[in-house]
Every structure is written in structure tokens, then in C-alpha cells.
Amino acid sequence: MTLLAALLEGGLDDPEAIRIGDTSMSGPELLGAASVVADQIVDRPAEGPVAVLAEPTAHAIVAMVGGLLAGTPVVPVPPDVGSGERAHLLADSGASLWIGERPTDVTLPVRKVDLSRRSGDVAREAPHDGPALVLYTSGTTGAPKGVLLSRTAMAAGLDGLADAWEWTAEDTLAHGLPLFHVHGLVLGVFGALRLGSRLVHVGRPRPDLYASAVRDHGATLLFGVPTIWSRIAADPAAAEVLRSARLLVSGSAPLPVPVFEKLRELTGQAPVERYGMSETMITLSVRADGERRPGWVGVPVAGVETRLVSTDEETDGELLPHDGESIGELQVRGPGLFTGYLGRPEATAETWTKDRWFRTGDAAVIDAGGYHRIVGRRSVDLIKTGGYRVGAGEIETALLEHDGIREAAVVGEPDDDLGQRIVAHVVLAGEPVDPDEIIAFVAERLSAHKRPREVRVVDALPRNAMGKVQKARLSM
């Protein structure tokens, strides 16, 4: 299986086809430098994956492409992790070699990346299709687990998105996402190298840099997480520049409805939302030619199937109707799914049903037209209160309609009477707001049983590198 098809077929031959920060190169230049890295990996002193510091640099991209050419699993190491977590990633993955600049606490053998060197060998990807990436989960339910992704899975996922987004070699992709997750690395780098679209990684996810990518480099396809889009929506001058872009894509966390509407007003187009996981690639997306509804993540991409399953004690395992109201666990299957968790056969087995559907652990609803809305994680976003099943996302959307609230996160906490009580954590937009007013505001818009029983004002919500709120930390 060839993942980086366009790159290996001689595409991206423009000298500035690939731009990372202030460094630019052509596809052939990237391929030549990556082939040198591949040679070094093949000659490494021990078997095992190779680790790369996943900074947004040309050196990191060359190193990871080199791993793909060598057929050796690559472990993208987040640049901001502490020494303890870095040690866990390296030990758990069994990494045998570090490619690029090595942190002082890492003792693995190291090979440097030289952007000017070229290999005399004909560059190609290794013929076998074992694990290509080991991406580590956020570790919210224990130590981070290594997700094994093959080139075949990544290619299938990218081809599904190319179909959904009408993504071609005529596009220029721009983003400022980290390179240690599916969103920034697989979609945001390997996608361009597979499909032949030019790539601009802006380095830092600032509104002015996104605007520059469009104005100065002709970006047509922009990737961002809600935090980025929120900042752009608050910068009318930068947002205005984005009017000439073809598609604005938001993912990795729910996009607040007020941000969705503000982007539509300022850029002249509504953003496209999508859904996926490290384990599944992107399984759902609004299509480029599809209806764009705030809060809905569209339909299955090509090759993907979904179903909604009840998790209630009385009806556990029953398929739920596509009525836009029934909340159940989203389960998926398709060619873009992961191979398993590295060294965790029991954890891998727990994620699959007997008939081989992947349990996402996310609660969702599906309407009659096949559109999906993600309610949130079953463990923290599906709240059972007073005999009702309530999705935290619906309450968060209502809270964000309040002019005095900038951010909101809703959780369920144990309650002797209700089972769980709904607790809202809010970041205010400015002046103080009476918590009772906030509770009444939600009660006016939703059913009474969906109102928060408690409102806690906080300075900021805890988030991970992709902008997802870490709800487990809200009650700590």
C-alpha cells in the first residue's frame, strides 16, 4: 500500500509546495531528504519503532516521512510533554532510535536530519503494511495507550475525506495544528502528500497567520480546532481575508454555535464539521456540497458504516432509531480503523463488539437524513439525572447563547436524590453574572430537567493540546 502517492509519483514539484513556518521545499526535495533518513533507520543498531519530536518543523516532517519509507513505526512525541510522560511513551513503544533533535533526558541512539542531503536510492515505501504510526491517546483514563495505524487505514481515511471535501491537487491546505495527532499529522501532512495539494503549516495557530496563508499563499482549505476558530471569529480583519478560501474545516472538539454563526457572518461561509478518533481516523463529515448545521458532524465518509446502540440496562445492545432524539453509543466500522493498542490485547478486545463494530465510547444521535450529532463521551457527557438521560453538549450550547458567557463545560456529579446533578462550569465574557440567572436562562430554552443545578465560575477550562476540554479535571 502506497500512502504518500502524490509525493512518490513526482508531484508537488513547485519549490514552495511544502512550507513549514519559514522553510519551504518541493516534493522531490522532501523525498530526497527523507530517503536519507530511511537509509539511517534501516541501518539502525536495533529493531523497534523510531521516535520523532513532533514539532511543526521541516525536520520533523522529513523524519516522519523517512520512517514511512523505511516501513518502521514512527512515534510522534509531543514537544510539550514532561520527562515522565516522554519516558512512558518511549518505554511503552519500545522505540530504538531517536530521529532529529534529542531532549537531554533521552538516552536512545540518535540520527540527525539534514535537509540538504539526498539519497542515491530510488525512494519508495516499504512493501509490507505493518503499523506505520504509534499515536498516543491523551491518557484520561490511565496511562496513554499507543494506537497502531497502518498505511492502508490512513489511505482509506484520507480518500474518504478527499471525496467528502472535494479535496484535490488544485487545493492549498493550511493549518497550525500539532503534528502528534491524526488531525494535524495524518490529515494535515500526509493528506497533502497523498493527494498532491500544496501544504502551508503556519507554525503557530494565530488568526493573522491563517489570514497570511490565504492572502500570501493562496490557501483554499483550512483546518482548525474550535479554539483557533474562536480566535479568528474574534478578529474580523483576519476572518475577512478567509472569504476567498474554499472550505473551513473544524474538528477535534465541538464547535460552539456562536462561533459557527460568527464565522458564517465574517467569512461568508459556514464551517464544515467532522468527527473522528485516533482509533478510527475521520468517520463522519459534512460534505463540501452538504448542508452545514451548527453542532452536526454530517454523514459517514466513503467506506464507513455507523449504528446507534442503546446502553440502558433494560435495552442494552438494541439498535436505536434515527429520529434525531434517541441518544445511544455510536459504533462504527470501515477500512480506516486502527490495528489495535500496542501491547494491550485486552484493551483492544474491549473496544470491539462480537460482530466487529468499534465502540467509540461517544454518545450520539442520528436523524432521519443520516446526519450525526455527537453528544459527548458516554463516561462524562451523558448525564443520568432524575430518571432522564441528558447530553452535556446540548446544555453547553444553550449556555453559550448567553452574552455573558464565553466558555462552558457541563458535567454530572453524584447526587443522593437525582443520581447525578448537572453542574455547569463557565468562563464569563466580562461582567459578573448571577448563577441563578444562568440557570433560569437555560431552563427557558431547554426542558426544566436539563437546567444546571449548580453553576461554577472559573477563570479557564482545562484543555489538551487539541483544544478538548478535560472534564475529568473539573471536579478535581
Q: In what order do the strands lie in the sheet containing 419-428?
A: 405-415, 419-428, 454-457
Q: What is residue 122's predicted lDDT score, i.e. its pLDDT?
A: 65
Burial of 457 (0-12, 13-18, 19+ CB in 10 A): middle
Q: Is residue 258 within a helix (H) or strand (E), and if so which, with residue range?
A: helix 257-267
Name the 3-class secondary structure at 279. coil
Q: What is residue 394's predicted lDDT score, i.e. its pLDDT?
A: 75
CATH-assigned architecture of domain 5-204: 3-Layer(aba) Sandwich (3.40)
CATH-assigned architecture of domain 386-473: 2-Layer Sandwich (3.30)
Residue 473 DSSP one-character state: G
Q: What is residue 348's predicted lDDT score, i.e. its pLDDT?
A: 93
Q: What is residue 72's predicted lDDT score, i.e. its pLDDT?
A: 92
Pick the CATH number of 271-378 from 3.90.1200.10, 2.30.38.10, 3.40.50.2300, 2.60.120.10: 2.30.38.10
Break the chain into its structural domains and give their ranges: 5-204, 271-378, 386-473
Q: What is residue 75's predicted lDDT score, i.e. its pLDDT?
A: 96
Asked if 128 and 71 count as a contact pair (C-beta separation under 8 A), the reply is yes
Q: Which three cell numbers stand for residue 46?
A: 536495533
Mean per-residue pLDDT pooled into runs of 10, the chain (476 residues):
90 93 93 92 83 94 94 91 84 93 89 85 75 81 82 95 97 95 95 97 94 97 92 95 97 85 95 94 96 94 95 76 91 95 93 93 92 80 72 82 89 80 90 91 83 91 75 72
Q: What is residue 314's predicted lDDT score, i.e. its pLDDT?
A: 61
Residue 319 DSSP one-character state: B
